[in-house]
Amino acid sequence: MALFGKDEAQKASEQKANGGSEGLEREKLPRHVAIIMDGNGRWAQRRGMPRTFGHKAGVEALREIIRHSDDLGIEVLTIYAFSAENWKRSAEEVGALMGLLLEYFTKELDELNRENVQIRILGDIDGMPSGLERQKAALHAAIERTQKNTGLRLCIALNYGGRQEIVHAARQLARRVAAGELTPEEIDQERFAAELYTAGLPEVDLLIRTSGEMRLSNFLLYQLAYAEFYQTDTLWPDFNKDTYDEALLAYTRRNRRFGGV
């Protein structure tokens, strides 16, 4: 995995200044972009505001990134909205995030559907705590309503953990072996990938993490095997179309070798 330091970000920023999105070579763009939207809390705290204020601003940033991905013809955008570990946050913060989620799906679904966006949830919706029945219903409704759409595929990782996903896939395969549908020898990478939440999607090409952290945080552990990693110090609420273009431009300049030379 190539790491992307400040020098490369600086270079991309200067090059982008000469042309914006128009400067991007469309045929070299990633098919599948995954984003860890980090830094909402710090963004708010720096303004003397509660963390939830940062999450609200984070939703605004997300809107712009979804729109821009669609405009650029990116096929799949996967975002880390809420991890299986995020339930450990304060009840106030979890409540605010769940409120934003419900509001997002209530307000945005019509437009996303009009834009031909297909929504997929990666994670255990039904394993979300009780008391979130409205959220669960809204998520299922969004999936169902947009499932035939053929535009941008927007995958929202929610109550998601990469290890949990791998264990779930292993269990599914074990069940199939126990049922006599499959022999252990028939289990290969293709069959394994077919049991993941991302089944049928193209490989992740680019992982972006904002806010300067250099961790995977249990995100897409299987799927990121050959993804290019881009990190930026920009906090998520400040991430916009221009900073996204910088990441994309940097990606188009990478030399991907997939273990070859």
Binding-site ranges for ligand FPP (CB under 6 A): 37-42, 51, 55, 58-59, 62, 81, 86, 97, 100-101, 104, 156, 211
The CB-of-181 to ligand FPP minimum distance in angstroms stands at: 36
| Cβ at position 77, least distance to ligand FPP in Å | 11
Nearer of residues 52 and 198 to ligand FPP, judged by Cβ? 52
Residue of this chain nearest to ligand FPP (CB atom)? 41
What is the spatial distance between Cα 151 and Cα 149, in angstroms, rounded to a whole number?
6
- For the record, the structure tokens of 136 come out as 């669960």
Q: Is 255 marked active-site?
A: no
CA distances from 187 to 36, 140, 181, 191 (A): 30, 30, 11, 6
- Closest separation between CB of residue 47 and ligand FPP, Å? 12
3-state secondary structure of 206: strand
- Please state the closest distance from residue 238 (CB atom) to ligand FPP, in A: 12
Neighbouring CB atoms inside 10 A of 149's CB total: 17
Question: Which CB atom, from 12 or from 244, has the smaller least distance to ligand FPP?
Answer: 244
Of the candidates 18, 70, 86, 110, the residue annotated as catalytic is 86
Name the maximum alpha-carbon separation found in the chain. 60
Task: Count Cα atoms within 13 angstroms, Cβ side, for 232.
Answer: 26
Angle at 101 between CA 95 and CA 102, to 5 degrees: 90
Q: How far is the CB of 156 from ligand FPP (least distance, A)?
A: 5
Q: Which of 38, 40, 159, 245 is catalytic?
A: 38
State how far the Cα of 198 lies from the Cα of 162, in Å rounded to an integer. 11
Residue 24 structure tokens: 């991007």
**For ligand FPP, the closer CB: 30 or 39:** 39
Closest to ligand FPP by CB, 157 or 169: 157
Q: CB under 8 Å to 218, separation ≥6 — which residues?
A: 83, 84, 85, 161, 162, 163
242 carries an active-site annotation: no
Q: Between 12 and 77, whose beta carbon lies closer to ligand FPP?
A: 77
**Is there a contact between 109 and 149 (Cβ–Cβ < 8 Å)?**
no
Query: Which sequence positions are flagged as catalytic?
Result: 38, 86
